[in-house]
């Protein structure tokens, strides 16, 4: 093989994407007012987290963790952090993964077994879907946030499987809407076979007491078999945790491949996670975010295609990829950075511009965004 020799489909697939206007490219600059990032509380951008961290970081900190958790990468610091996180989220135990992607893949690929079933919301995040596909369990999707569709699948399949896992996000990453968690918990109470798993990636820092998430706000933490919290969004750092029973934690340590076969997060990442949790308790950024969300809704009125949400994520559905690009461009011309989300990432007909509200967005910036959305 020479260096210039490549499998034919590489270039062909790229060309096909390009022709459809769907070629993904990495950007290095994000000019304009940030209505795009997941830094909902500004922990990353505002520098709150890095200055808090500088004050507390131990100068003896080793840089790399030197190995996987089961070989040489474990430490008092990580285990202490996990105990702290379990307490904060009112769980029996917690296990840190290197990212939310790893946590979902690691959890879903090893817990459900051959004679089990996974029922998942059709808008579930790719990391959960990838985990499901790696498992040996059967799986079906139910209609987005549709409790009848979920109930119907449970009734139809209950007798055929040992355990049924239900996978939802408390806040959906594309629509920003919230799962009907109370109703799902009621469904789960009907049978001991049903296990609820909630991904709280976009709810931590946004909902619940001191940002504990939506399960906390609804008082259903104890009704979940497992909850996944990620740190790359409102907490402004990186990594993720699965919170659940001690037996679940022991099981994951033994069978979860994305936990076992990777170098553990370095000390500074764990310190950043702990520091971000401390900021959740010590600052009122969550309140400021909620004020901005309330302000947005007090001013926006009705716009066709706007998906209403109480979270930081909002979307205006415009219906075609080209329209989504046009809206992104219009916003950019007015110094606003928000992202067009096109099919096939979202279903055809639901192409949109997704925008996120943050603590650091000013009232004037939100007014400008609303004016542009209304005029489009």
Ligand X SMILES: Cc1ncc(COP(=O)(O)O)c(C=O)c1O
Strand partners, 263: 68
Active-site amino acid positions:
38, 125, 169, 173, 199, 202, 233
Selected from 101, 195, 207, 296, the binder of ligand X by CB under 6 A is 101
Distance CA 143, CA 261 (A): 35
Nearer to ligand X, 86 or 107 (CB): 107
Q: Identify the residue among 32, 73, 232, 266 touching ligand X (CB under 6 A).
A: 232
**Closest residue to ligand X: CB criterion:** 100
- State how far the alpha carbon of 66 is from the alpha carbons of 57, 72, 265, 266, 267, in Å: 19, 6, 9, 8, 10
Quick check: 237 and 269 in contact, CB under 8 A? yes
What's the closest the beta carbon of residue 130 comes to ligand X, in angstroms? Answer: 10
Choose which of 34, 82, 121, 199 interacts with ligand X (CB under 6 A): 199
Q: Do the beta carbons of residue 239 and residue 99 sit within 8 Å? A: yes
In this complex, which beta carbon is closest to ligand X, that of residue 161 or of residue 259? 259
The 10 Å Cβ neighbour count of residue 260 is 16
100 binds ligand X (CB under 6 A): yes
Asked whether position 99 contacts ligand X by CB under 6 A, the answer is yes
Q: Is 104 in the site for ligand X (CB under 6 A)?
A: yes
The whole-angstrom separation of Cα 249 and Cα 243 is 8
258 belongs to the binding site for ligand X (CB under 6 A): no
Q: Which is nearer to ligand X, 99 or 178 (CB)?
A: 99
> Nearest-CA neighbor of 332 among 26, 22, 30, 27?
30
Q: How far is the CB of 345 from ligand X (least distance, A)?
A: 12
Q: Does 37 bind ligand X (CB under 6 A)?
A: no
Nearer to ligand X, 242 or 366 (CB): 242
Spatial separation of the C-alpha atoms in residues 355 and 336, rounded to whole Å: 10
Q: How many residues bind ligand X (CB under 6 A)?
A: 14
Please say whether the beta carbons of 173 and 150 come within 8 A: no
Interface mask toward ligand X for 163-192; x: CB under 6 A? ------x---x-------------------
Take residue 47 and report the two structure tokens written for it.
């520098």
The span of 94-102, 132-140, 258-266, 326-334 binding ligand X (CB under 6 A) equals 94-102
Q: In whole angstroms, how close is the CB of 364 to ligand X at the nearest point?
A: 29
The binder of ligand X chosen from 69, 89, 125, 314 (CB under 6 A)? 125
Interface with ligand X, residue 88, by CB under 6 A:
no
CB of 201 to ligand X, least distance (A): 4
Using the contact rule CB under 6 A, the part of the chain among 10-18, 152-160, 199-207, 296-304 near ligand X is 199-207
Say which residue the tokens 């310190």 belong to: 271
Of 154, 240, 273, 369, which one interacts with ligand X (CB under 6 A)? 240
314 is a site residue for ligand X (CB under 6 A): no
**Which of 201, 252, 272, 324 is in the footprint of ligand X by CB under 6 A?**
201
Q: Which stretch binds ligand X (CB under 6 A): 4-12, 45-53, 63-71, 196-204?
A: 196-204
Give the residues lining the site for ligand X (CB under 6 A): 99-101, 104, 125, 127, 169, 173, 199, 201-202, 230, 232, 240
């Amino acid at each position: 093989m020479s260096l210039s020799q490549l499998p034919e489909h590489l270039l062909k697939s790229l060309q096909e994407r390009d022709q459809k206007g769907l070629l993904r490219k990495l950007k290095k600059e994000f000019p304009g007012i940030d209505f795009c990032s997941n830094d909902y509380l500004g922990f990353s951008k505002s520098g709150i987290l890095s200055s808090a961290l500088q004050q507390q970081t131990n100068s003896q900190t080793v840089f790399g963790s030197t190995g996987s958790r089961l070989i040489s990468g474990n430490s008092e610091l990580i285990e202490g952090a996990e105990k702290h996180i379990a307490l904060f989220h009112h769980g029996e135990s917690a296990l840190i993964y290197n990212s939310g992607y790893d946590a979902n893949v690691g959890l879903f690929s090893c817990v459900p077994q051959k004679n089990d079933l996974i029922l998942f919301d059709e808008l579930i995040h790719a990391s959960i879907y990838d985990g499901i596909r790696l498992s040996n369990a059967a799986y079906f999707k139910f209609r987005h946030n549709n409790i009848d569709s979920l109930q119907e699948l449970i009734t139809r399949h209950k007798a055929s499987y040992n355990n049924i896992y239900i996978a939802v996000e408390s806040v959906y990453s594309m629509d920003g809407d919230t799962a009907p968690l109370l109703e799902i918990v009621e469904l789960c109470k009907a049978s001991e076979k049903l296990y609820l798993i909630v991904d709280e990636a976009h709810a931590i820092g946004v909902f619940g007491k001191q940002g504990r998430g939506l399960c906390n706000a609804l008082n259903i933490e104890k009704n979940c078999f497992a909850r996944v919290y990620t740190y790359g969004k409102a907490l402004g750092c990186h990594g993720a945790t699965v919170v659940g029973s001690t037996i679940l934690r022991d099981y994951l340590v033994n069978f979860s491949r994305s936990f076992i076969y990777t170098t553990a997060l370095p000390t500074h990442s764990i310190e950043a996670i702990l520091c971000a949790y401390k900021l959740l308790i010590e600052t009122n950024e969550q309140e400021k975010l909620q004020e901005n969300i309330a302000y947005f809704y007090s001013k926006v009125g009705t716009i066709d295609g706007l998906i209403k949400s109480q979270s930081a994520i909002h979307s205006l559905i415009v219906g075609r990829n080209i329209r989504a690009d046009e809206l992104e461009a219009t916003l950019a011309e007015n110094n606003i950075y928000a992202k067009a989300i096109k099919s096939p990432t979202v279903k055809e007909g639901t192409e949109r511009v997704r925008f996120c509200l943050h603590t650091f967005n000013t009232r004037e910036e939100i007014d400008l965004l609303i004016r542009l959305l209304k005029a489009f």
